Amino acid sequence: MGEIEPFFSDFDFLIPWMNTKITDTIVHINEHMFGIMNICSRPSLSILIFLGRRCHEGFYVRELARALKLGVGTVSEALRELHEAGLVNREEREKIVIYRAEMKSPLLRELKVCFNLMELNPLMLRLCESGAVSRMVLFGSCASGEDTPESDIDLLIETGKKREVSVLIESAQEGLERELSPIILSPEEFMVLKRKDRPLYGRIMDGKVLIEENIEISSRSRFLDQGFSKYKSKYV
């Protein structure tokens, strides 16, 4: 052990350097986390929802402030942070600066989907509490982050209690600005859909699964989708 201590003592000069590097790393992480917190502030999220759903349009600061009922300074600062994060495009036109959503950003598209899920959360909770739904899938533009204010919210709901589910959906619609467009099917009807309308079935299967309680049906669908025809007699 006596020979090891001198070996490490030769590198004592590295200790201040290592401490500096560790400190710099911690500061960088804190700055990064602070930046993320700024992006997740209420004004920033309001701007992202507004611009994200109007991704083909551009707005200047005062337009956004007026539409969102926020201060011009607050909007300006939030836009600067969102631009630095790559979530918003900044385009100068003569003396006017136009901002629009950066739809090439995977993060922005996923955030848009998260906003849609937050909008649907009360309905999801009611359907889960009812115990009437074995599967619920969000599909279409709202599942891919390409939705607009005019987009319907496309849902596949698999249930054995259609009437009960329809009542819950009608109740949830009253609190939503956009139209719910549910396809309500029994488990048997959902399996028939695969044969009768493969394009629609494919879009549904590419969507976001929000509820999936019936494991047997889910497993059967996966086997069929992967082309394991030899299992067909077992699962159908």
Find, among 175, 61, 42, 194, the residue nearest to 120 by Cα. 175
Mean pLDDT of 13-28: 50
pTM of the model: 0.71
- List of domains in the chain: 20-101 (1.10.10.10), 107-212 (3.30.460.10)
Q: What is the pLDDT of residue 23?
A: 54
Q: What is the pLDDT of residue 185?
A: 96
> How confident is the model over 27-84, as pLDDT tens digits?
444 444 444 556 678 899 999 999 999 999 999 999 999 999 999 999 999 999 999 9
> How confident is the model over 169-200, as pLDDT tens digits?
999 999 899 999 999 999 999 999 989 999 99
Integer Cα distance of 179 and 115 in angstroms: 15
